[in-house]
Amino acid sequence: MAEKKTEEFQGFELDQHLCFAIYKANHAFNRFYKPVMKKLGITYPQYITLLALFEKDDQRVSELGERLFLESNTLTPLLKRLEEMGFISRTRSKEDERQVIVSLTDEGRGLSDGVIDVQHCAFTSLDASLETVTELVDQLNDIQRKLTAAKAKVPA
């Protein structure tokens, strides 16, 4: 059982697995942001969604989904909650009734100030230079791109 497959993977321990390291870092960000988001009355996925809207307002659900790698089955209920809380509005497009346009309300836009504070707090907690972080972001985006492209070839 558990014969050696390649030299490089022998003895790889959990902590050294890239996927686990990413899992943990994601987890840590989640935990870090959660209490602050709670103060704002939103969850971390809702925060990520709002980030996408701060960057570009009035997006279609599917447009947001491409950006966030989520689909309507996840986004629809999440967006309905943000709408209920008054941070966004959801309106059917006049040109194409199939499309739902998601827009920030004034109250939603108002969250961005608090959000920028937290980002700054996270950044300073990391105690890293902007260059280091930028390089890391590039590497992670590269990994994401390559894994997405590889698309997990399931042979059999």
Partner DNA sequence: AGTGATTTAATCGTGTTCGATTTAATTTGA
Partner DNA sequence: TCAAATTAAATCGAACACGATTAAATCACT
- Interface with DNA in residues 70-89 (CB under 7 A): 70-79, 81
> Choosing among a second copy, DNA, none, which partner's interface includes residue 65 (Cβ < 5 to 8 Å by kind)?
DNA
For DNA, the closer CB: 93 or 119: 93
Rounded to the nearest whole angstrom, what is the least distance from the CB of residue 38 to a second copy in the complex?
8
CA distances from 133 to 51, 79, 103, 122 (A): 18, 30, 30, 12
Q: Does 91 bind a second copy (CB under 8 A)?
A: no
Say what the alpha-carbon torsion angle 13, 19, 21, 25 is, to the nearest 10 degrees: -160
Largest CA distance in the chain: 62
Rounded to the nearest whole angstrom, what is the least distance from the CB of residue 3 to DNA in the complex?
27
x/- letters, 34..53, toward DNA (CB under 7 A)? x--------x-xx-------
Are 87 and 111 a contacting pair, CB within 8 Å? yes
Are 53 and 59 a contacting pair, CB within 8 Å? yes
Rounded to the nearest whole angstrom, what is the least distance from the CB of residue 81 to a second copy in the complex?
19
- What's the rounded Cα separation, in Å, for the pair 119 and 109? 16
> Choosing among DNA, a second copy, none, which partner's interface includes residue 131 (Cβ < 5 to 8 Å by kind)?
none
For a second copy, the closer CB: 98 or 117: 117
